[in-house]
Amino acid sequence: MTKIAVIGAGSTYTPELVSGLSRERVSVHSLVLHDIDPGRLEVVGGLAQRMLDRQGFGGSLELTGDLDRALDGADFVLVQIRVGGQAARLQDETLPLACGCIGQETTGAGGLAKALRTVPVVLEIAERTRELAAPEAWIVDFTNPVGIVTRALLDAGHRAVGLCNVAITLQRRCAALLEVEPRRIVVDQVGLNHLTWVRAVRFDGRDVLAELLAAHGDTLADEVGLPRRLLDELGALPSYYLRYFYAHDEVFEEQRDGEPRAVTVAQIESELLELYRDPDLTEKPALLEQRGGAWYSEAASGLVSSLVTDDGAVHEVDVRNEGTLAGLSDDDVVEVPARVGKNGPVPLPQAPLAPELLGLVQHVAAYERLAVRAALDGDPVTVRKALLAHPLVGQWAPTEELFERMFAGVLEAA
């Protein structure tokens, strides 16, 4: 029997996540949803309960604002918090623009600000998990920036794995284009969290990426916002986060003249919560698909199932490199496909990255190392070094300005 605690359960993703967890091949006897916002938790938890009732779930669902109660005896702790809420996200996306830098909540200056706010909080949750949860409990982190947060957890000795929805979303997209069942597709996506390329798409074990690009390259290029020619010359499919690097100036102009994504998301969240209040609603509304994070519930429930059942299924996860990608340190955290059993993920062997991929990965890996250090020691010098190391900043003048506008207050608050 398994107890699962979801921390940050006020998320509008939670009902779908809970529904997915209850359907997996895991004997879940207890689901505990924790959030620091009681009103939001009540609304989200209400829909989650109705969805479980509709499925005939035989276990219990508990809502609580008491972290220790949520963690007590838990076998899995799923962390999906957003420190500072959508207001902090809006700052992460807009303040860098005034300094001539792209504003994004998981990478660049905005990603660093989020890491500084988030890492200490997640580590506090992890320490309580170590003290209160089951002895072999797993922490599954979906909290962004996932690579940095997972690295901090592993550096502190926690039994943790990072999870992102980018790969499973692409797997579902490739399956749709090929008109086959998703379970027959394995997406070989490699790199760092939010800095990945798909170098192979295996359909029943056979790599069909070249065929996909030939038949659907224009569609795939449009979906990641990059030129078709770039995909052909790379011989790989970049994640849409690579657009911040490969089309930097174009993205900057769009952000400077457009509405921040945070504003759109806040509106969607408000509408979703209003829908969730409907006592007759027993399934996720279509609007949730506009929120982002598609297929997260499937990714999370599938990963938990493999960790429990030891089925050896392949999942895209964030783990220690340990020699998987040549040119990176063993203690770097990479995002790669891994075979998952009860002892955790074992990355699949990977060919070396091509130079045009490796150089960028090494650059950002160095930044992530500094970002974790900055989040732990709060040293302004380390923060400025992290900004300098990131390819989306990389110059002294914006580094100084960014520090004063975004980071001085964060460090003082910490």
> Quick one: DSSP state of residue 258?
S
SS3 195: strand
Task: Print burial letters for 176-196: b (CB count within 10 Å at least 16), e (below 16).
Answer: ebbeeebeebbbbbbbbbbbb
Is residue 13 part of the annotated active site? The answer reads no
CA distance 313 to 336: 13
CA distances from 7 to 76, 81, 141, 333 (A): 11, 7, 10, 22
- Among candidate residues 13, 240, 241, 296, the one labeled active-site is 241
What is the C-alpha to C-alpha distance for residues 295 and 175, in angstroms, rounded to an integer?
14
The residue type of 138 is W
391 CB-contact burial (10 Å; exposed 0-12 / middle 13-18 / buried 19+): middle
Tell me how far apart the terminal alpha carbons of the chain are, to the nearest angstrom: 39
What stretches of 338-378 show up as alpha helix (H) in DSSP?
Answer: 355-377
Instruction: Give the whole-angstrom CA distance, residue 288 versus residue 96.
Output: 28
> How many of the other CB atoms lie within 10 Å of CB of 245?
18
**Cα angle value 14/18/23 (rounded, 5°):** 150
Output the DSSP codes for 5-49: EEETTTSTTHHHHHHHHHHSSS-EEEEEEE-S-HHHHHHHHHHHH
Rg (CA), the chain: 21
Which residue in the block uniquely carries the two structure tokens 């069909």?
208
Neighbouring residues of 70: CB distance < 8 A, sequence distance ≥ 6: 5, 7, 32, 33, 34, 64
Segments of 128-260 assigned E as strands: 138-141, 160-163, 185-192, 195-203, 206-207, 237-238
What is the CB-side half-sphere exposure of residue 205 using CA atoms within 13 A? 0
Q: In 225-295, which ranges are continuous DSSP H helix?
A: 228-234, 243-246, 248-257, 261-276
Q: Which residues are catalytic?
A: 241
